[in-house]
Amino acid sequence: MRRAALVAGVVLLAACGGEGGPPGGMAVRDAWVRPTAPGVTSAAIYVVVENVDAPADRILGASADRCSTVVPHQTVVDENDVASMPGVLGDELDLPPGAVVTMEPLGLHLMCLGVGEPIELGDDMELTLTFDVHDPMTVPVVAANR
């Protein structure tokens, strides 16, 4: 039902010729990546995305220099403290107006795969997020140990 409404909204927007939301309507902030140990080829990127006042939207995907692929991912820790990574299960990446998607350790994150040279503390990289509606957005990512 919700997805149908979203699809309808997207179709409507597309029909209106709307390409990308109004400037400032979508905010991407606090992007950081954990440094990688030698030989490790994946890293988790954390970021906060807020739909301030843009039309209903959804994070579709991401890319970053230093990563061959970036996929939205999710860690789930159950009541027995067993951690698993079932990926994105449902509407976690949906951004209705006013919504905030918080990617943080032990939860939603962007998996950076195919890291070549190890990512070291203080390194900078760039993350580009793509949306259903909004134009892609690129933000700096700092390598930190939080």
Partner 1 sequence: MDIVTFPSQPTDNAAEPAAPARTHRARTLAVVLGVPLLVAVVVYAGFVLLRPHAYFGTVMQAPTPAPSMEDLVGIDGRPVDLAALRGDVVVLYFGYTFCPDVCPTTLAMAARAREQLGGDGERVHVMMVSVDPARDDVERVRDYVQAFDPSFLGATGELADVEQVAATYGVFFAEGAPLGDGYAVDHTATLMAIDTDGKLRIVWSPNVTADALADDLRELL
Which is nearer to partner 1, 8 or 121 (by Cβ)? 121
Closest CA to 49 of 35, 64, 60: 60
Which is nearer to partner 1, 24 or 120 (by Cβ)? 120
Cα(83)–Cα(78) distance, integer angstroms: 7
Give the position of tokens 């134009």.
Answer: 135
Phi, psi (deg, nearest 5) at residue 118:
-55, 140
Which is nearer to partner 1, 41 or 102 (by Cβ)? 41
Q: Which tokens sit at 110? A: 């962007």
Residues near partner 1 (CB under 8 A) are 34-44, 69, 73, 75, 77, 80-87, 105-106, 109, 111, 113-114, 145-146
Which is nearer to partner 1, 1 or 89 (by Cβ)? 89
- As measured in angstroms, the least distance from the Cβ of 58 to partner 1 is 22
CA–CA distances in Å: residue 103 to residues 89, 97, 110, 124: 14, 18, 8, 18
CA–CA distances in Å: residue 11 to residues 48, 82, 131, 132: 26, 41, 14, 11
- As measured in angstroms, the least distance from the Cβ of 83 to partner 1 is 4
- As measured in angstroms, the least distance from the Cβ of 57 to partner 1 is 25
Q: Which tokens sit at 103? A: 């990617």
Cα(115)–Cα(60) distance, integer angstroms: 21
Which is nearer to partner 1, 18 or 63 (by Cβ)? 63
- As measured in angstroms, the least distance from the Cβ of 77 to partner 1 is 6
- As measured in angstroms, the least distance from the Cβ of 112 to partner 1 is 8
